[in-house]
Amino acid sequence: VEDNADYECKIVKSGITSSCHLTVKELPMEVVDGLTNKEVVETESVKFSCELNKPYKPVKWYKDDAELTIDGKHYSVENSEGRYTLKINDAQLDDGATYALKYEEASTSATLTVKEKPCEITTPLEDMVTMETETITLVLEISKPRNVTWLCAGKPVSGDRFKTGVDDTGLKHTLTVIDITLDENAEFTVQIDDQSYGIVTANCQVTVKEAPVSITVPLTDLEAMEKDSVTFTCELSKPNR
């Protein structure tokens, strides 16, 4: 293109000249090596890269037809010898889209698929030791909102004594056992439905100690005539003792 100019031929002895103008038309921009589809797990970084037939052009990048604002943080770009690169840092689920590079008539596009990270247990269940008739609460915290199922000794918990709960974030799950019995001296399990990743489990052991026998209704003084029969009665907290 820099050869675009006026040219002149001059005969030195006579001084006769002839001139003309050379117009050099720039080759159109072409995609030499286009963008390719990418798949990443969320929070990973990813690069889209393509090659054009001309370097250092002010290309524009688009996400689903909307021009990207290159902030140098989440989105950054590189331009080296005709290779143009868009880097997406800390990819999130909403970054899944079609990305395109455009400059004049040159255009190339590809799709980014962002897979959700598997759910992680951030605060595991803890083993507990308690006394029968007491109330306990088991706590589990996970990294993503998920549906969970609580089990005791391998069976889903049921009944009014079992209260399940979850906080507003969907991350903290609790199981409260009211008036715990010796039957709950067992392993408690949480099954976490991690969608496409399957079931994730967490376990803890709850040890329930037998409460000591106590007198709930004590003996009372009696008065009787001699030769009468009398019966003293009391009640204990446990039968057949």
Mean pLDDT along residues 73-81:
93
Mean pLDDT along residues 155-162:
96
How many whole angstroms separate alpha carbon 107 and alpha carbon 187?
60
Comparing 209 with 13, which gets the higher pLDDT?
209
pLDDT band at 86 (very low <50, low <70, confident <90, very high): very high
Alpha-helix residue ranges (DSSP H) falling in 185-230: none
pLDDT at 241 over 80: no
Quote the pLDDT of residue 237. 81
Closest by CA position to 132, among listed 206, 189, 235, 241:
206
pLDDT band at 192 (very low <50, low <70, confident <90, very high): very high
Residue 221 C-alpha from the chain's centroid: 70
Verdict on whether the full-model pTM lies above 0.75:
no
Instruction: Please check whether residue 121 is in contact with residue 110, taking contact to mean a CB–CB distance below 8 angstroms.
Output: no
Mean pLDDT along residues 30-56:
95
pLDDT band at 103 (very low <50, low <70, confident <90, very high): very high
pLDDT at 1 over 70: no
pLDDT at 39 over 80: yes
